[in-house]
Amino acid sequence: MFPDLPDNNFGYSAHYVNPALSATACMMLCVFAMRDLALQDFESRCLFTPNAGDINIVRWALWGLAAAIRDMMVRSRFQTAQYDTTYMGIQVGVVKFFAPHRIDAGAKGNLTELVPSQTSGPASATNHTDTTFTSFKNSNGNVTSSNSDDLWAEVTFRTAEIPIKGTFMSIVQALLNLGPLNSTALITQPLAVIGDALTVKIVTSFKRVERSTPPSFNYGHVVKGLAGLPRVMLRENKFAEVDIRLIVDGENVGNGRIRKRPMNELALPVTMNISLS
């Protein structure tokens, strides 16, 4: 059982077979899928089951993906797999990880989203030795959601390293918590996700920059910023604590950070302090 799921009625069973899969690809594509789900209308799609009643499809898909990738990480089994997910004992869906039998030219082009090229950053970016930039557009030049904001992240690496699996798991936990929130709702208070990410405890936090004029800072910006962070780390070959400045249409709208905490600290549940007012 995935320990941080918000509903104890959710369960799954894992079935592993050969061949092996790329660990990086599995973790990255899981984050991309959770990003796309978290940007959808969370309450718009439900599936009715005779015994369990209405099941939110987006919620199920987020839980299923989070449970599946954590199971892979814990077992260190990155290979073809199927996860049968259940709710109140009723099977409601399947999550599969597998290698396509054939990748055509178009599909190969889309895979460039995994590790983007280095960019110089927007005009408002600061310049530091350990700072890098990324734009949240896919390989075709389109933004990654219906929101047309020109969103950039300015990422500054700190010295404390974080294991690659811990980094991915902390982002999965954050996306799991951000999923139910309206991606266009404005962020008015600091938010944080605190939880155990396999072998390390990680705190992910964001807060808005006080502004009296547009653009504003919303949950969709955080979703896209977090989902894009592993791409930057892979490109720079650095997995460490980071400071993040999110820049929309050339203006700094929100700042975040990822920090490691001692494992012997008092265990806290995964929480998010939010306000939708």
Tell me: the pLDDT tens digits for 151-200? 998 999 998 999 999 999 999 999 998 988 899 999 999 998 877 777 78
Better pLDDT: 113 or 8: 8
Is 270 domain-assigned? no
| Cβ partners under 8 Å of residue 80, min gap 6 | 16, 17, 18, 19, 20, 21, 97, 98, 99
Q: Is residue 277 one of the residues assigned to a domain?
A: no
* Nearest CA among 66, 9, 6, 5 for reference residue 35: 66
Distance between CA 120 and CA 163 in Å, rounded?
A: 27
Alpha carbon 58 to its chain's center: 14
Confidence at 130, pLDDT banded by 50, 70, 90? low
Residues 51 and 139 placed together within one structural domain of the fold: no
b/e map of 125-160 (b: 16 or more CB within 10 Å)?
Answer: beeeeebbbbbbbeeeeeebbebebebbbbbbbbee
194 in a structural domain: yes
User: Which range, 2-16, 34-48, 75-89, is most confident?
Assistant: 75-89
Q: Please name which of 64, 81, 79, 77 lies closest in space to residue 14, comparing C-alpha atoms.
A: 81
Residues 82 and 121 in one domain: no
> Residue 154: which of 133, 180, 183, 175 has the closest Cα?
133
Provide the residue range defining the domain that includes 18.
10-97
* Residue 4 placed within a domain: no
Task: Please give the helix or strand (H or E) that residue 58 lies within, else none.
Answer: helix 57-75
**Does any domain span residue 275?**
no
Is 266 inside any structural domain? no
> Facing residues of 191 across strands?
206
Residue 137 sits in the same domain as residue 241: yes
How many separate domains does the chain show? 2
Confidence of residue 248 (pLDDT cuts 50, 70, 90): very high
pLDDT for the residue numbered 89: 81
Is the domain of 173 the same as that of 58?
no
264: Cβ–Cβ under 8 A, 6 or more apart, which residues? none
Residues 50 and 118 in one domain: no
Domain boundary among 68, 97, 126: 97
Report the percent of the chain where pLDDT is more than 70.
71
Task: Give me the residues paired with residue 206 across strands.
Answer: 191, 256
Residues 36 and 145 in one domain: no
The amino acid sitting at 139 is S
- Please give the structure tokens belonging to residue 25: 């690809």
Is 3 a domain residue?
no
Residues 147 and 179 in one domain: yes
- Tell me how far apart the alpha carbons of residues 152 and 120 are, in angstroms, rounded to a whole number: 11
Query: Has residue 271 been placed in a domain?
Result: no
Contacts of 148 (CB under 8 A, 6+ apart): none
Please give the structure tokens belonging to residue 148. 């047309």
The answer to whether 75 and 97 are in contact (CB under 8 A) is: no
